[in-house]
Structure 1
Amino acid sequence: MLQRFKKYGVQLCFLLLTLSGYAQHIPSERVIAIDDILPYLKTSVQKDLGEVSQTGLALHFRTVFASRYFYDWHETDTRFEEYKRLYPKMETYHTARAQDHLDKFDDSTFWKLPFNYKNGTPINAYGLRHLARQHKMVDIAFLYRYENKNPSYIDYYTSQLASLNNALITSSFETINDGNGVYESFRSGYRILNWLQIHNGYLGEAAYTDKNQLTTIATLLQHAAHLYKNNKEFKPGNHQTRGLSALAMLAIILNDFKDADVWYTHAMSLLEEHLKREINEDGFQFERTIHYHQSDIDNYFYVYQLAQKSNMPVSALWEDKLKSLFTTLTKVAYPDGSAPVLSDDTDTPWAEKNDISGTLTLGYLLFDDPAMGHFAKQAVQPKYLWYLSRNQLEGLKSIKATPPETKSYAFTDTGYYIMREGWKTSDKMLIISAGLDKDKPDHQHGDMLGIQAMANEHVVLPNYQVRYSLDDLELFKNSEVKNVALVDNILQGKDYTSNKGGSGFGKFKSLPEPKVLGWLSNESIDLFIGSHDGFEEKGVTYTRQVISVENDFWIVKDNFYAKEAHIYKQQWQGHYTTENGAELLRSNFSNGSGLDIYQLNKVDRVTTSGKRGKQWSTISKEGEASHSFITVLYPYSTYDTRILETDKNPSLKGWSLHNGSIKILSKGNTSIYFNISKAIIDTINIEIPEGADIMTQVNNQELTITLLSGKKVAIIVTQDGIDTNYTLQPATEVTYKIK
């Protein structure tokens, strides 16, 4: 009996030890000693390695990185030479940023406020953010190579990493609760991405010892464990997404560890939840900006790229949603391949376009889509050279490119409506913003129903990129610096507040709620009709109609209805002169093309304001309870195709203008009527008892009537004494057979 007990006791002890080994999870509150790494490896890896020295373990992980990271570290030197050849200006960029970090922070720095920069100036939360992200440590890694591999830069990196690990032991680091946590998901995830690049780049360097390498790996493991522990549930926004992206990357690269499979499954599942919830059905990232849309693409791209390389599972939904992010950029792009500025775009302050070529080059490499290839470049953006394989870089030498098939398009979930002539660089495009994210409108601007437009290779109606740290962020986020309509002194964005983190970012407590009343796009017309409630506190109801007239020009009609008189305004961005009083504004561009803004109804005045080298004009009408601006936005390619200033009723690219009490534009068999109740076309009478804006077309014994107004109306068509009654909804049409 005793012998049997001893036998089973030995087996039980072995089982407990085995279970203990499998249950041994990497701690999140401390960095494991490099001599203790081995027990955390998968059993199969431990068996393969056997009794391995520190040198042998470091060699194993160098082999792991060579096969699992974005590129094989053995080619770092040759890739750096390629980098210098392709991007000669980057040396100045990296050197300046590296020196900025070196000048500000000791190698063994503090990680909890308050403390000072090296020059004695106190560090604020914004400065700590830059330290926590370690993004300029990447520049120092570049400086290492630019300066003939000065080993002091490797020592600086390893010492600063060690200082964070020491701060972790003593709990002397900024915490998550105050909003500026060093281990907060976004900052930790950003730091991991940067440290992985640095680590891989140093792997072939003698100064980066086996101990240094294993310490970095142990530190990355602690970061992964912390991200896993503190991101169990879905939290909206890009902060968690960046952290989960980093967790998935570590799970792929460091898959030899027992916890890695659990990390990967969890990170991919929660990232899929973000894809489901935060990528709208129309393919736009929920924050409605190009900047955050592209930033999200990066988060998913890094993971997808590594998963493909290591043959790790990726669900079909995950892949489809990722592809839709790239496809969206091809639909929203301007004809010259750039993209409009949409709310908090922050890469290039005051710029009037976004560069999307780098992102779509990645999309082309992932999905081999010629429509993405239309935007792709043979040289990727500098940072992406370090995230692509040699085969992918070779593939950019012969890009398959065809223009997208998409022309006018409605992102109905996100609320962007695009009127597009085509894909030649001289073609025209206009975009209308008519959406408000219900969960997190933090990055939205005061531009509800605002428009932007490009024609003849220039942004003729611009919006401007912003930067959180600039003191005029609130101005550039709000309605004065947008192409919108306003009432009295009301701006759309209300109760602006800056965040407590000190970054300068701020948001509005409230923005107008939009309502899309109609959208129609066919061979004859592009038509958008919308409203918002931003002026209801003043007792004013507001709607905006935007009409693309045969790709010749656009008409914007702003309608205000109230019981008392107000000052009604239109804001137009750009540098304008007044060619015929307030009725005709003109902006002209470097190639001789321009934009005329022509008022069909009388207005009172135009005033001009500006900041940061940008200008805008405000057109005003006073003393009326209700008013409509009927505005022709008229791009011209050369001076002799402009609106002729001296003509009272000028021809608009073949459209004749009747500018009496009723405004009518006619060309051939097509007419556009504003505020009419009766019209006669040949032998046909059209009656609209309530009055409305309509377009009529006669073709092949058929009369087509399109309702351009924002509410449904009854229409009576009479021919030969016979009445035919219709009820039309906004942006719908009816066809009447002519007898």
Structure 2
Amino acid sequence: MRITETEFFTELTDPKIPAMAAAKRAAEEGNLPQAEKLFADYMRENLSPETFFKIPYVREWYPKEEDREKILARADRILDGWVSSCGFPWHFEGGHVDWITNRTPNGYREWPWQLSRHGEFSGLAAAYLLTGDERYAARYVDMILSWIEQAECPENASGFATETWRTIEAGIRLSSSWNYAMFAFLHSPAMTDRALTLIFMSVYEHGWRLRNFCTGFNWLIHEMSGLLHITLLYPVYRDGAEWQTFAFSKMEEELKTQIYPDDFQFELTTTYHGVVLRYYTLVMDAFTTYGKSVPDNFHEMIVKMYSLYPKIVRPDDTIPDLNDGLERSIRSDMQKALEYDPGNGAFRYIATAHKEGTPPPFTSVTLPYSGMTVFRTDWTEDAMWAYFESAPFGKAHQHEDKLEIELYAYRTKLLTDVGRYDYDRSLMRDFVLSTRAHNTGMVDTFGQNRRKNYEWHPEDLAKKSDISWHFGEDYEVSEGTYADGYGPDLIPVTHHRKMIFFKKGIEGTKPFFVLVDTFTPMDGGEHLYEVHFQLDKEPIRAQGKCVTAKHENGVSLSLISTAYPTILIGQYRPRYMGWRQIYAPGTDHEHMPAPAVTFTEYGGEKTVVTVLYPNNEPTCPILGVALEDDGFSIETTDKSKHFFAFSDKNFMTSPEG
């Protein structure tokens, strides 16, 4: 450990607490066993498992009798020497865990990092709470002391450094697994005076490192949550009051510097928006349960962050996996949101699967700072929904996907990007970050490259994006431009995309969308232009300039373009394309071949018009789309042609909508 036991008792605990003062005197006299006993007795008498297990998020974790078989099976595997990180299990002979060595065949960096989030401690604690079996307590003590012995707290290392002491892990384990295990095992005979002392010496080192080596963005919220939990649950440290003041100050500041005015966290990823929100609610729940106050703006900003979800939610109450996001249902999030705003009808509507509450007071909506438009016909489960973005690059976890679109209709996901992937150095990880994996444009086979010259400035949070829009009775439109160059040399071509929602369709059709993609070379040259669409694994049919993907439920999506398509499935060379993420925990088969459709043009300035026609009927009523001098025409199966001018006032937009 970085600190000695004598230093801990004489300099680092709070001498204003009589028991800590007595332990200090014993240590100064060289009687460390007595100091350990005084300290441990005080902790056993003053920590309150009864209060801890009343914290709302802890109640969620408390083991349920109906889960006994699963909980005990997991705990027994841990007894036998098994651990698991990132879905990859490993067996340590004799139970002697090596916390440092990476056991994955591909050297996946996250494995040792996430192993030190100590999910095994929670697993053992759950089994102990159900059974009282002391084998689980003994295994926990053995594991945590072995970690403390192997994982020495670094003296002066960045919060991003080391395999076991990255500050994100330190914040996570002191917001969750370490606390859960401590209060579960506190009165077990396995928790000897010596064990308790060593564990709380390490807790002090966690506080010291989180206070002095904290980082930024979503990591900082993990870190400050951990630090605040230390000060709340274990108020025995000399520096505790200063740590708490510092952590609350940081979290208050981050609410001003991480959240856009339209409610999205500045990484612009649905996962990390949820992570940041979750850690604020952890702190609120814990401090409220213990009868302690939090800064005044916490409650208001938590409600504000929850308010993002109704804006972007699909008709099935899931949110898309934007950037390094994760597609998931938000009903449980909205249930939690009701604790903070019980009168919010929109929160209740989603939380109850539309059985109670009232729909949000909007259908389509634009987030002008986050640069996103969501089109929506209504708030029924059969609604048509689409997403268009002309967003800032975001603070972290970015994908090269400006002008991305997604589509959901007739209770079916029809168009999404290919998902996210493990944070490794694989071809698939490189792919999901790239323009190749998204529904937008490329130039000369190269993708967008905002990352090359990207810099974040705090004042960017107050700037609106370049998105503009207009919502009318018959048409809704949103548009934006990518102008930061393509490929490593930043090929100087701009891509302007306009997405038009024909809310009432045209004669003989249902509602549909039209994309108008214009590529303009700034170098006066000719280039290859590609417009990409990532389809699911469903069978597809190509005929002329139309590609149709039909799902098992009979719903289809037809892509009808002015350009000819190419279909790529499971391609490695010349470009890695035609793949999609899948979830298969415990295996390395986490992606699969899936169709990618590319419509291609070549020349100087070029415009590609594509109709996106969602359909729940056997045939598509649109035969084709043609580019005209000043607009485009759509031909239907009755041979009618419908012309739409680019200058049509219905298609005009503004940055104010």
| TM-score scaled by length of structure 2 | 0.78
1:608 paired residue among 568, 573, 578:
568
Q: Distance in 1 between matches of 2:299 and 2:320?
A: 26
Q: Distance in 2 between matches of 1:666 and 1:73?
A: 56
The worse-fitting range, judged by mean Cα deviation, of 318-327 and 54-63 is: 54-63
Q: Distance in 1 between matches of 2:380 and 2:72?
A: 36
Q: Distance in 2 between matches of 1:357 and 1:279?
A: 22
Alpha-carbon spacing, 1:70–1:246, altered in 2? closer, same or farther (3 Å): farther
Task: Give the secondary-structure state (helix, strand or coil) at the position aligned to 1:555.
Answer: strand
Task: Give the secondary-structure state (helix, strand or coil) at the position aligned to 2:647.
Answer: strand
1:229 paired residue among 185, 204, 212:
212
Aligned equivalent of 2:162: 180
Aligned equivalent of 1:520: 470
1:196 has 2:203 as partner: no
Q: Distance in 2 between matches of 1:545 and 1:512?
A: 27
CA apart distance, 1:478: 1.2
Question: Residue deviations 1:276-308, cap 9 Å, x none?
Answer: 111112111111111111111121111011122
1:360 has 2:304 as partner: no
Q: In structure 2, what residue type is equivalent to 1:526?
A: E
CA contact (8 A) 1:249 1:302 kept: no
1:163 paired residue among 141, 146, 149:
146
Q: Distance in 2 between matches of 1:342 and 1:150?
A: 44
Q: Distance in 2 between matches of 1:666 and 1:309?
A: 64
Aligned equivalent of 1:585: 547
Task: Give the secondary-structure state (helix, strand or coil) at the position aligned to 1:543.
Answer: strand
Q: Distance in 1 between matches of 2:631 and 2:196?
A: 78
CA contact (8 A) 2:53 2:59 kept: no
2:199 paired residue among 216, 235, 243:
216
Alpha-carbon spacing, 1:53–1:590, altered in 2? closer, same or farther (3 Å): same
Q: Distance in 2 between matches of 1:32 and 1:276?
A: 42
1:598 has 2:572 as partner: no
CA contact (8 A) 2:401 2:435 kept: yes
Alpha-carbon spacing, 1:74–1:316, altered in 2? closer, same or farther (3 Å): closer
2:117 paired residue among 103, 127, 133:
133
1:57 has 2:16 as partner: no
Question: Residue deviations 1:169-212, cap 9 Å, x none?
Answer: 7x789954772253332121122221001112223544445654
Alpha-carbon spacing, 1:46–1:406, altered in 2? closer, same or farther (3 Å): farther
CA contact (8 A) 2:270 2:322 kept: yes
Q: Distance in 2 between matches of 1:593 and 1:510?
A: 42
Aligned equivalent of 1:467: 422
CA apart distance, 1:268: 0.8
Q: Distance in 2 between matches of 1:201 and 1:618?
A: 54
Task: Give the secondary-structure state (helix, strand or coil) at the position aligned to 1:403.
Answer: coil
CA apart distance, 1:122: 12
Larger of the two Rg values belongs to structure? 1
Aligned equivalent of 2:439: 483
Higher relative contact order (CA closer than 8 Å, sequence separation 6+):
2
Alpha-carbon spacing, 1:105–1:240, altered in 2? closer, same or farther (3 Å): farther
Aligned equivalent of 1:559: 518
Question: Residue deviations 1:530-552, cap 9 Å, x none?
Answer: 11114474443321000111261
Alpha-carbon spacing, 1:74–1:140, altered in 2? closer, same or farther (3 Å): closer
Question: Residue deviations 1:443-495, cap 9 Å, x none?
Answer: 1112110101111111111122322245411112212221112222111247x
What CA RMSD, in Å, does the superposition of the two structures yield over aligned residues?
Answer: 4.3
Q: In structure 2, what residue type is equivalent to 1:618?
A: V
CA contact (8 A) 1:414 1:437 kept: no
Aligned equivalent of 2:300: 320
Alpha-carbon spacing, 1:540–1:39, altered in 2? closer, same or farther (3 Å): closer
Q: Distance in 2 between matches of 1:37 and 1:56?
A: 19
CA contact (8 A) 2:269 2:324 kept: yes
1:285 paired residue among 265, 273, 277:
265
Aligned equivalent of 2:222: 242
Q: In structure 2, what residue type is equivalent to 1:626?
A: E
1:531 has 2:450 as partner: no
Q: How does 1:254-403 map to 2 (within 5 A)?
A: 254-255=234-235, 257-345=237-325, 353-368=327-342, 369-376=344-351, 401-403=357-359
Alpha-carbon spacing, 1:526–1:511, altered in 2? closer, same or farther (3 Å): farther
Aligned equivalent of 2:383: 427
Task: Give the secondary-structure state (helix, strand or coil) at the position aligned to 1:80.
Answer: coil
Q: Distance in 2 between matches of 1:196 and 1:271?
A: 21
CA contact (8 A) 1:542 1:559 kept: yes
CA contact (8 A) 1:361 1:376 kept: yes
Unaligned runs of 5+ in 2: 24-34, 85-89, 457-463, 505-510, 570-577, 580-590
Q: Distance in 2 between matches of 1:637 and 1:116?
A: 49
Q: In structure 2, what residue type is equivalent to 1:203?
A: L
CA contact (8 A) 1:244 1:271 kept: yes
Aligned equivalent of 2:411: 457
CA contact (8 A) 1:582 1:619 kept: no
Alpha-carbon spacing, 1:422–1:151, altered in 2? closer, same or farther (3 Å): same
Q: Distance in 2 between matches of 1:182 and 1:130?
A: 9
Alpha-carbon spacing, 1:524–1:731, altered in 2? closer, same or farther (3 Å): farther
Q: In structure 2, what residue type is equivalent to 1:458?
A: T
Q: In structure 2, what residue type is equivalent to 1:186?
A: I
CA contact (8 A) 1:74 1:204 kept: no
Task: Give the secondary-structure state (helix, strand or coil) at the position aligned to 2:320.
Answer: coil
Alpha-carbon spacing, 1:95–1:455, altered in 2? closer, same or farther (3 Å): farther
Q: Distance in 2 between matches of 1:143 and 1:135?
A: 13
Alpha-carbon spacing, 1:37–1:124, altered in 2? closer, same or farther (3 Å): farther
Alpha-carbon spacing, 1:661–1:216, altered in 2? closer, same or farther (3 Å): closer
Q: Distance in 2 between matches of 1:335 and 1:473?
A: 29
CA contact (8 A) 1:28 1:223 kept: no
CA contact (8 A) 1:446 1:511 kept: no
Q: How does 1:681-692 map to 2 (within 5 A)?
A: none
Q: In structure 1, what residue type is equivalent to 2:520?
A: Y
Q: Distance in 2 between matches of 1:327 and 1:517?
A: 21
Aligned residues: percent identity? 17
CA apart distance, 1:145: 6.0
Aligned equivalent of 1:686: none
Q: In structure 2, what residue type is equivalent to 1:615?
A: A
Aligned equivalent of 1:540: 493
Alpha-carbon spacing, 1:466–1:55, altered in 2? closer, same or farther (3 Å): closer
Alpha-carbon spacing, 1:123–1:457, altered in 2? closer, same or farther (3 Å): closer
CA contact (8 A) 2:310 2:346 kept: yes
Task: Give the secondary-structure state (helix, strand or coil) at the position aligned to 1:465.
Answer: coil
Alpha-carbon spacing, 1:46–1:443, altered in 2? closer, same or farther (3 Å): closer
CA contact (8 A) 1:658 1:665 kept: no
CA contact (8 A) 1:452 1:483 kept: yes
Alpha-carbon spacing, 1:94–1:594, altered in 2? closer, same or farther (3 Å): farther
Alpha-carbon spacing, 1:305–1:41, altered in 2? closer, same or farther (3 Å): farther
Aligned equivalent of 1:568: 529
Aligned equivalent of 2:32: none
Task: Give the secondary-structure state (helix, strand or coil) at the position aligned to 1:155.
Answer: helix
CA apart distance, 1:116: 7.5
